[in-house]
């Protein structure tokens, strides 16, 4: 009971500290704008940004843009993970194929997904599909590497024990391989989700006519810097929520057990 109470106090302390820090940054921001007499069209204050956000909320555009961005990220991200994790497990358990395929993955991985924008537009045109394609590219290759690394690094003792107990086939991959590599896979899920959210915003500035990235470009063209900064704040806040959502997977018993053991 005392441990639970201490954990609850720590949780509130961390959240309260984060709130105070955020409040301090916004107060400093607002003060600096007034002290240095910065023109709103160059860098608006906090209150102006909040008014700009309220305008977007009131006319329904902000919710529509958020839903559009999340739709594209969800499809591109889940499609990439659904293909990357099985491929990573296969490569992690097959050294020959891992060495054969690794140069191709290492060649493709450093190419920025944004470099694919002209090809995506040529193949898919304007709309959701090019953005989903760019998200897929941003997530797929790093996720394959995270999964492959996690599987290849499994303690051989686990594999020997599974063999001694006659665990083979689907059961071997689901109960031994996947469970042992899960911490590294979850780390990959967190990092690639952040990358996906970053790329979708950039892609929406070019390839679509809605979404948070489009909001920033449209507001810039309309000289609404308050809505530009408001869009940036919303992007950062949603990114934080997505990261916290994926972090909940770290509470899985197999993940917590392995980290405690380490």
CA distance 213 to 45: 21
Mean pLDDT of the chain: 88
From 35-49, 51-65, 212-226, the region with the lowest mean pLDDT: 35-49
Task: Give the model's confidence band at 96: pLDDT under 50 very low, under 70 low, under 90 confident, else very high.
Answer: very high
Spatial contact of 207 and 130, defined as CB atoms under 8 Å apart? yes
pLDDT at 42: 86
Between CA 23 and CA 18 the distance in angstroms is 9
Q: What is the dihedral of CA 192, 198, 203, 206, to 10 degrees?
A: -170
| Upper half-sphere CA count for residue 77 (Cβ side, 13 Å) | 21
Between 183 and 144, the more confident residue is: 144
Write down the pTM of the prediction: 0.87
Residues 124 and 59: their CA atoms lie apart, in Å, by 30
Domains delineated in the chain: 46-261 (1.10.3720.10)
pLDDT surpassing 50 at residue 2: no
Q: What is the pLDDT of residue 65?
A: 95
Round to whole Å and give the CA distance between 155 and 261.
Answer: 13
Nearest to 52 by CA among 234, 241, 251: 234
Exposed, middle or buried: residue 76 (CB in 10 Å: 0-12, 13-18, 19+)? Answer: buried
pLDDT bucket at 16, cuts 50 / 70 / 90: confident
Distant-in-sequence, close-in-space partners of 171: CB < 8 Å, separation ≥ 6: none
pLDDT tens across 162-178, in order? Answer: 777 777 778 888 878 88
């Amino acid at each position: 009971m005392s441990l639970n109470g201490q954990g609850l106090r720590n949780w509130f302390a961390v959240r309260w500290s984060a709130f105070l820090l955020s409040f301090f940054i916004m107060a400093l921001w607002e003060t600096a704008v007034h002290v240095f007499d910065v023109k709103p069209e160059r860098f608006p204050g906090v209150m102006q940004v909040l008014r700009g956000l309220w305008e977007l909320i009131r006319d329904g555009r902000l919710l529509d843009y958020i839903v559009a961005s999340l739709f594209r990220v969800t499809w591109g991200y889940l499609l990439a993970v659904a293909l990357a994790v099985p491929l990573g497990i296969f490569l992690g358990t097959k050294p020959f194929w891992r060495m054969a395929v690794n140069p191709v993955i290492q060649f493709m991985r450093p190419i920025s997904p944004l470099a694919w924008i002209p090809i995506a537009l040529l193949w898919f045109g304007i709309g959701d599909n090019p953005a989903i394609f760019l998200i897929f590219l941003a997530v797929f290759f790093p996720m394959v590497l995270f999964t492959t690394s996690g599987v290849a690094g499994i303690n051989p003792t686990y594999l020997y024990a599974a063999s001694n107990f006659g665990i083979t086939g689907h059961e071997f991959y689901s109960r031994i391989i996947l469970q042992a590599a899960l911490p590294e896979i979850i780390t990959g899920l967190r990092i690639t989700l952040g990358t996906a959210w970053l790329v979708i915003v950039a892609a929406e500035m070019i390839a679509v006519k809605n979404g948070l990235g489009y909001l920033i470009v449209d507001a810039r063209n309309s000289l609404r810097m308050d809505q530009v900064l408001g869009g940036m704040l919303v992007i950062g806040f949603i990114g934080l929520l997505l990261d916290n959502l994926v972090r909940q997977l770290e509470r899985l018993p197999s993940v917590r057990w392995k980290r405690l053991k380490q």
